[in-house]
Amino acid sequence: MLLQWANDVSVMGFRAAKAPNNASLVVTTLLMDVNKNMSEIQDLLRLPVPFQYFHLLAVMVSVNMLIWAYGMGLTTSVLIPIVFVFLVLIFVGMMVLASQLADPFGEDEVDFPIRRWVDEFIANQLTLVEDEMPEYKTQQDKDSGYSPWWKEIIKSEGQLNWKLTDVLG
């Protein structure tokens, strides 16, 4: 709300000073950047993983890598530095992946495409709702509102045997 007020005041000031419109646009863009940064901070503070657990895990991984570095540094093998680099990449990658998967419903690349799923669901429902019945075979069927060939389709498909235990396991 305060950023909106600040933007309104700056726009009124630029109009009163008869400044060019692009000057107002620069201030508005800066205020939008501030709003974006504030939103990112709020998202970080609302992490579903408790803050302490995240840092405890980070310390555990760091100590583990430090012990590996010391232990592997004492060996005389030539392949140990390569093994250590791969281990560090794997563990740091798992930390990054865990932080990305902590909020699966955001807007990141690894998050569930909820918006696309909802769009597809609505498109499918609209198709079902707006789909028209196929033509009747005869005028008599059309007048009566009855289509005898539906009976044949239902017989060919068979009866639906559905139980709640089939879904729940």
pLDDT in tens, 10-38: 888 888 888 887 888 888 888 889 989 88
> Would you state the pLDDT for residue 167?
47
Structure tokens at 107: 């807007």
Distance CA 99, CA 109 (A): 13
Summarised one tens digit per residue, pLDDT across range 44-69 is 767 666 667 777 888 888 899 999 99
Could you give the CA distance from residue 107 to residue 116 in angstroms, rounded to a whole number? 12
User: What confidence tens digit (pLDDT) does each residue in 120-155 have?
Assistant: 888 777 777 665 555 556 666 666 666 656 666 666
Q: Two tokens at 94?
A: 């798992």
pTM of the predicted protein model: 0.37
Q: Please state the domain extents for the chain.
A: 1-46, 49-137
Query: CA 29 to CA 132: how far, in whole Å?
Result: 49
